[in-house]
Amino acid sequence: MKLKAQEVADLVGGIVDGDKKSTITKLSKIENGESKSLSFLGNPKYNEYVYKSKASIIIVDKGFKLKHPIKSTLIRVDNPKIAFSVLLDHFNGENLSKNGIDSSSSLDSSVKYGSTLYLGKFSIVEKDVKIGENVKIHPQVYVGESVEIGDNCIIYPGVKIYRNTKIGKNCIIHSSSVIGSDGFGFNFDSKGNTLKVNHNGNVIIEDDVEIGANCTVDRATLGSTLIKSGAKLDNLVQIAHNVIIGKNTCLAAQVGVAGSTIIGDNCLIGGQAGIAGHLKIGDRVQMQAKSGVLKNIKSDSVIMGYPAINYMDYNKSYVHFKNLPSVMKFIYKLMKKDVK
């Protein structure tokens, strides 16, 4: 793809500062920008690279001031990060233009789908499935009975979607994730043997949700496991049966949420955090990485540790914890003096 500076500016709503005819054919990081590439400056600590970069075009904040002249053309915007995201989408669009149903795939005759469906090699779509417009289902995907997939969704290779799952519009599910698998539920008989609890519910994923690679979202025992609109799941996230994830909540890699827990809107959950079952997490809660949550959390809380406590309290406690060896050494000395 080849774009001139003015074309880039038009795409991102920016102003060209330099050669309007300067052209780019690719994107690059500002640290190693090359000729004919476009970079962006989104963090002041990288300011020095503006003067070293060989990138033909660099996106910067409107208020950015140069200390001395540079060869690169600048495009000044309100928010460089958002502008660069727009360009990433634009460049990625070429990879999302596939259409047609591959002859090696299996599409049941009862399936209803839009005219622009892409169904890749060796994918299987079972009976009574409904698929919206402009849906891209990549190779080796399995879509079970009575699944619904909304407009503009992208399902990457190897995804498995179990029966009765409902997926809204503009969703992205990355490779090898499993949606609608059985929840982890067992009872014990009189002899202590485990008895499987069959899960007859489903999974509902609302609009604009993105699910990373190798995630699992279990279907409900009864009712629905629900991921609300705008939520984002990183890779390797486990969502158990009957969990509710609120709007625009983001879960980093390796987060695990146990059954029937409700997480509010606009929460930020750090990597490897573990959340016990049957809890209620309020809105706008921030959990630091590796937190272990064993009780309900109020809205607007910031927590850390295992078991998780207030973030500031944890930091204060840690100061004492790391000094504990020297404190105990002092105590032992006092004890010895008392014995004498």
Active site residues: 241
With beta carbons less than 8 A apart as the criterion, state whether 284 and 272 touch: no
Strands 186-188 and 194-196: antiparallel
Q: Which residues, listed in sequence order, are joined to residue 303 by a DSSP beta bridge?
A: 287, 310
| DSSP class of 297 | B
- Contact partners, residue 177, CB within 8 Å, separation at least 6: 159, 160, 211, 212, 213, 214, 215, 216, 217
Distance CA 32, CA 123 (A): 39
Tokens 């839009």 belong to: 114
Distance CA 278, CA 259 (A): 6
- What is the sign, positive or negative, of the torsion defined by CA atoms of 96, 100, 105, 110? positive
> For 334, left (φ over 0), alpha (ψ -120 to 50), or beta?
alpha
Written as one string, the DSSP assignment of 132-158 is -TT-EE-TT-EE-TT-EE-TT-EE-TT
